Amino acid sequence: MMQSSEPDNLARSETNKMKKIRVLLLFGGQSAEHEISVISARSVYASIDTSRYEIILGGISRSGQWFLDSGERSLLEQDEVADGSGVPVQLGAGQPELVTLDGPRVNVTTFDVVFPLLHGPHGEDGCVQGLLELVDAAYVGAGVAASAVGMDKELSRAVFGHAGLRQTEYLVVRRNAWNADRAGIRSHIESTLRYPLFVKPVNLGSSIGISKVHDSESLETAMDLAAGYDIKMMIETSVERARELECAVLGNENPNASVIGEIIPGAEFYDYTTKYIDDRSQLIVPADLPEDTKTDIQEMAIAAFRAIDGAGLGRVDFLLSPSGEAFLNEINTMPGFTPISMYPRLWQASGIEYPALIDRLIELALERHQETRHVSLNR
């Protein structure tokens, strides 16, 4: 070893200490939760530890175009990422970088990790995650398969069933089949499940296209409504007078479960209006529950997260029947992330403040990227 290299190494480690982690915060997106995503992104931008991280703002418009912030957080100033609101940008080929074309010049923006703070279809369903995999980027949250399975209620139900997790009874009907034989399908539904029922599009979220159905007459309308949003519809037994409970999961290989929160929708169910428009719904953290119910729900939340092969974060939602039985309803792999959203609130109540939660998620993203590298091709 040459002694003269020592001062050099020291100098280098000093610069390493100072080098900030460059986080590409992706927000907006093509789903109905575009505006929620913008609000979540503002919160992350305002709370992230700027002594450790440098944020690059990447907005995705409703039409799917990507924009880089052209000034100081101007992309976050509007409720929506509009087309033309920043510098058009695209992901580099095979490398974790963003590329903008400025006449004949090519500008490259590099980043160390992506926080895809996008909800719903084309954000939380594996599509963006797949793009990020292709450029070998580290990113916060679930991978391609877990995101896709988490978004598809039919696939997640199959995986949860395989893991032995308690769920309501359900059927899945394809739109083509429904349109070909409405009477036959109606009698099949009615001979298999008992009213009241819930009818949902399989791949959506935000309660869009979901109806509660009390009788044969309204079943048809509900099926048509859901069929307007998806090629698959799910029909399931209603858990009547259910309490809606949510548990947050954080981690990769050995995830932890938070305390449990409760939502009081203030309507017949937690529909789109109660979620986003009026403020009748109430979030109670922590929920008042018997010890064994808490344990049951936390164990199921971790099992559900593991079953879909989740990573980073997930919010697992339950319906608790009046007799005390908890049914697993769904997992959200990129839950709402404003400081008043359930996911951060559950961690705050479990001892992790919002900025520390962001830190931990970035750390988990980098760890997972490291761990999965050796299984990838040509790396």
Ligand X SMILES: Nc1ncnc2c1ncn2[C@@H]1O[C@H](COP(=O)(O)OP(=O)(O)O)[C@@H](O)[C@H]1O
Q: Does 206 bind ligand X (CB under 6 A)?
A: yes
* Residue 130 three-state SS: helix
CA-closest candidate to residue 292, choices 324, 266, 338: 324
Q: Which of residues 56-85 bind ligand X (CB under 6 A)?
A: none
Q: Tell me, what amino acid is at 204?
A: L
Nearer to ligand X, 130 or 269 (CB): 269
Q: How far is the CB of 31 from ligand X (least distance, A)?
A: 11
Please report how close the Cβ of residue 245 comes to ligand X at its closest, in angstroms.
Answer: 10
Q: Nearer Cβ to ligand X, position 89 or 331?
A: 331
Tally the C-alpha atoms within 13 A of residue 175's C-alpha that lie toward its C-beta: 14
Tell me whether residue 287 is exposed, middle or buried, using C-beta atoms within 10 angstroms of its C-beta: 0 to 12, 13 to 18, 19 or more.
buried
Contact region for ligand X (CB under 6 A) — 111-119, 142-150, 204-212, 254-262?
204-212
The correct pick among 238, 258, 293, 338 for binding ligand X (CB under 6 A) is 238
Specify the residue, 140 or 210, whose C-beta has the smaller distance to ligand X.
210
Residue 210 found at the interface with ligand X (CB under 6 A) = yes
Residues 6+ apart with CB under 8 A from 363: none
Paired residues of 138 in beta bridges: 113
244 binds ligand X (CB under 6 A): yes
Determine the Cα–Cα distance for residues 257 and 301; give it in Å rounded to an integer: 7
Candidates 39, 319, 328, 362; binder of ligand X (CB under 6 A) is 319
Residues 6+ apart with CB under 8 A from 365: 113, 114, 115, 138, 139, 140, 141, 312
Nearest distance from C-beta of residue 322 to ligand X, angstroms: 12
Cβ 135 to ligand X shortest distance, Å: 29
198 binds ligand X (CB under 6 A): yes
> Binding segment for ligand X among 6-14, 67-75, 196-204, 224-232 (CB under 6 A)?
196-204
Q: Which of 24, 76, 239, 302 binds ligand X (CB under 6 A)?
A: 239
Q: Phi/psi of residue 192, each to 5°?
A: -100, -40
Decide if residue 333 touches ligand X (CB under 6 A): no
**Given 37, 43, 85, 329, the residue binding ligand X (CB under 6 A):** 329
Residue 242 binds ligand X (CB under 6 A):
yes
**Residues 6+ away with beta carbon under 8 Å from 293:** 320, 324, 326
Residues of span 131-190 touching ligand X by CB under 6 A:
168
- Beta strands, E only, 15-126: 21-28, 53-60, 66-68, 87-88, 90-91, 97-102, 105-110, 113-116
Would you say 354 and 47 are in contact if contact means Cβ atoms under 8 Å apart?
Answer: yes
CA dihedral 268, 270, 160, 336 (to 10 degrees): -170
Closer to ligand X by Cβ: residue 206 or 341: 206
Give 261-281 as a 3 state SS string. EEEECCCCCCCHHHHHHCCCC
C-alpha distance across the termini of the chain, in Å: 29
Q: Pick between residue 38 and residue 239 the one whose CB is nearest to ligand X.
A: 239
Stretch that binds ligand X, among 125-133, 239-247, 288-296, 337-345 (CB under 6 A): 239-247
- Nearer Cβ to ligand X (206/372): 206
- Closest separation in Å from C-beta 258 to ligand X: 18
Query: Which stretches of the chain bind ligand X, using CB under 6 A?
Result: 168, 198, 200, 204-207, 210, 236, 238-239, 242, 244, 265, 269-270, 317, 319, 329-330
